[in-house]
Amino acid sequence: MERSSVAVGRFTYGHDRMTVRQWKESANLRIGDFCSVAKGLTVFLGGGHRTDWITTFPFGHIFAEELGGTGIVGHPTTRGGVTIGSDVWIASNVTIFSGVATGDGAVIGGNATVTRDVGPFEGWAGNPARKIRDRF
C-alpha cells in the first residue's frame, strides 16, 4: 500500500508545526500557496473506525503480525485526502479530518474540528465546525 504524501505551496508558513496522522492509508495532504497555519494543526488522513462492523477495534491493524502479516481490508478507513486551498488562514489547535476540502481564501477559527468541506472565502468555527460567515 502506498504511503501518504504531503505537498505544501509557495510562501505558506506554519506547516512545520502541524501533525499529520495516517495509518497505512494512501490519502494525501495538499496545502496551497500563501496559507497561514498557526500552531497545533492536526490533519487526519485516515484512522477511522468502522462503526458498521461487529467491533470498532482495529484487529487487523494492531495484530497484523499475528494474522500472517496481512491486515483486514477496510480497516482502518479513510474518506480520502485533505486539500487546503490557497490564501487560507488556519488558527490555533484546529483538527481537520480525512476527505475535507477547504476552498481558497477560507478562514478556520481556533480549536475548530472540521469534518465537512469549507467553501471558498467562508469563515468556519466550532466543534464540529460550521459556517459562521462569508469573508466578503
Q: Would you please indicate which residues are annotated as catalytic (active-site) residues?
A: 49
Residue 8: strand pairing partners: 31
